[in-house]
Chains A and B, each alone.
Chain A
Amino acid sequence: MTEAPLTLKSHRFRMEREADWRRLEEILDLVETGKRRELTDSEIIALPVLYRSALSSLSMARAISLDQSLISYLSSLATRAYFCVYGTRMHMMHRIAQFFARDWPATVFGLWRETAVAGSLVLAGIVAGFLLTHASPDWFYSFLPEGMTQGREPGATTAFLRQTLFENHRPQGLAFFASFLFSHNAQIAILAFALGFVCGLPTAYLLFQNGLSLGALLAVYAEHGLGFDFMGWILIHGVTELFAVTLAGAAGLRLGWTLVFPGEESRAVALARAGRTAAVVMIGVVVMLFCAGLLEGFGRQLITSTFLRYGVAALTAVLWGGFFYEYRGGRRVRV
């Protein structure tokens, strides 16, 4: 027998290295199923060595072996090992701490131009909504769909409007209200961000529209001399909520702006960078809206003094403002 199969060089190559590949596979199986903690010290030390040897096996196999299944096995093994070795696995708690301590405030700070634009859009909406409704109450129904207002309309009596502001709720039902507000607002905020991809125009519209309805409501209450109380009712959670919505809009605007004007980088690279920057802001927005939901669901219903409401509003304004914009000295990060 002249052609003895076992004399194949590629087969010998496989026999010699097979044990290492199997060992690497076992380690990867543990890591990928989340049993990272079960790895022994020697396995952790062996991982990078085994990874490099799998890579060299792959190069070697491509050069000398014609066993297709072996090559695809090695290619899969090397790919899995690559992601295991090079994917930074920062501890979750550490990641969260870094997010709050650095990434989130620094990113929001870096987004100040878009935040200013988004904030102006909301403000312009409030002013326009107020002036238009003030001049002619019919405008009210163009800004707020019927059925959404629960009787808070131009024709309502002063007593009724006062009651909507100072209704003292019993604690039951508030938790549900708060959680509903949170999930609803967060959904809208994420949509506002996603719409930024369409050149930012729908985002700008959403922001302006948000302001319009607020301004229209304010006009209705101001008509009855309740403007000051109404603002207290809104701002106790509104500082947090409007700020969060503005930031979501800013994130969307950054996305749309980058899509149209990518700058010196290629459009794909610039867009990916802007998207990740905006995502950091958005994760924070969800956190802010959670706080706003609590303030709206509990705080507003339990605190019925207008001055106390303004006090809480001022406190939240100082807290968020300080958190995002206080001078960071040397560690200000450019985003």
Chain B
Amino acid sequence: MSESDALTRPFVTPEGVDLELELAAASERMTAFLIDAVIITLSMVALTLALLFLAAITGYRSAEAMAVLWVLGAFVLRCFYFVFFEQSARAATPGKRVLGLRVVMRDGTPLSLDAVFARNAMRELEIFVPLLFMASQANKVEAAAEIAALIWCGVFVFFPLFNRDRLRIGDMVAGTWVVHAPKRVMEPDIASQTGGRNITFTPEQLEVYGIKELSVLEEVLRKRDPDVMRAVAARIRAKIGYPDGDPDEAFLLAFYAALRKHLESRLLLGKRKRDKYDK
């Protein structure tokens, strides 16, 4: 089972199609959170400066109103930044959007406001308590107590690493999980491109490879790196016993189209040749 299979979860729509959702990796979650933390911090700085500026140009008569706005603004940013973005149509904060993540109910029902609130209220336990603990290092407590507190905080902070579904405590309490659902663009079909040459292959030559090799070839052709293409073309020519002569790109395009046609027609007959070892 490969890395990506371990994070794929069945998600069957009412129409009976499995969308095969892919869970977000812990590293992606962490990155998304850091992006959000930076945004929150910068917003806080901007809010402070803006209010100071406003107070200054009104000659500090409105200082109290600005202070009220500051306190309420800080509260809203800290408690409702995540809630606001996650209950929107994208179900993701800006940090999650950058990484193509979204919050989904584990049971497939629509994401509700209470679930979003629950999963984010738990951040108090996961982020705020450990931060508070680190800040309170000044009042020297006993070493044993400190270690105990460190382990205690670690349990909450690293919770997602200790379960299969990468759930943090907020996800457990809200019944949600975070999936990788990026917006993809439709790329051109490589099989419709030709290198401008007539290159044909015998059925024996097309028998060598399977679906896995085809998708690797597809990746190579989408990147179009000349060095990689030269190496791959050389490997394929040697393997199937095809003479040198055609340009690498044209050869690979033609081989991709021919191999795909060959494998797809076998697919229609119910034979899925996984890779080159699959007879």
Size of the chain B interface, CB-CB below 8 angstroms: 78
Partner of B189, one of A3, A14, A78: A14
Partner of A272, one of B117, B175, B194, B222: B175
Q: Is the CB of B125 within 8 A of A66?
A: no
Q: Is the CB of A8 within 8 A of B260?
A: yes
Our count of residue pairs bridging A and B at CB distance below 8 angstroms stands at 209
Q: Does B161 contact A (CB under 8 A)?
A: no
> In the assembly, what is the distance between CA of A138 and CA of B191, in Å?
86
Q: Does B200 contact A (CB under 8 A)?
A: yes
Q: Does A292 contact B (CB under 8 A)?
A: no
Q: Does B121 contact A (CB under 8 A)?
A: yes
Q: Is the CB of A66 within 8 A of B260?
A: yes
How far, in Å, is B163 (CB) from chain A's closest CB? 10
Provide the residues of chain A in CB contact with B186, threshold 8 Å.
Answer: 18, 21-22, 25, 69-70, 73
> In the assembly, what is the distance between CA of A194 and CA of B169, in Å?
10
Q: Is the CB of B124 within 8 A of A79?
A: no
> In the assembly, what is the distance between CA of A214 and CA of B278, in Å?
75
Size of the chain A interface, CB-CB below 8 angstroms: 84
Q: Tell me which residues from 98 to 144 in chain A have a Cβ below 8 Å from any Cβ of chain B.
A: 99, 103
Contacts A66-B215, A86-B110, A276-B174 hold; do A191 and B128 have CB atoms under 8 A apart?
yes
How far, in Å, is B8 (CB) from chain A's closest CB? 11
**Per-position contact with A for B71-113: 1 when CB-CB < 8 Å, else 0?**
1101100110000000011110000000000101010101111
Question: Which of A168-176, A219-227, A310-318 is near enough to bind chain B?
Answer: A168-176
Provide the residues of chain A in CB contact with B112, threshold 8 Å.
Answer: 276
> In the assembly, what is the distance between CA of A29 and CA of B80, in Å?
25
Provide the residues of chain A in CB contact with B264, threshold 8 Å.
Answer: 8-10, 64-66
Question: Hey, which bits of chain B sit against chain A, CB under 8 A?
Answer: 13-15, 17, 19-21, 64-65, 67-68, 71-72, 74-75, 78-79, 88-91, 102, 104, 106, 108, 110-115, 117-119, 121-125, 128-129, 169, 172-175, 181-187, 189-194, 198, 200-201, 211, 214-215, 218-219, 222, 254, 257-258, 260-261, 263-265, 267-268
Question: Hey, which bits of chain A sit against chain B, CB under 8 A?
Answer: 1-3, 5-11, 14, 18, 21-22, 25, 31-32, 34, 36, 52, 55-56, 58-59, 63-70, 72-73, 75-80, 82-84, 86-89, 95, 99, 103, 172-173, 175-176, 178-180, 182-183, 186-187, 190-191, 193-195, 197-198, 255, 268-269, 271-280, 282-283, 286
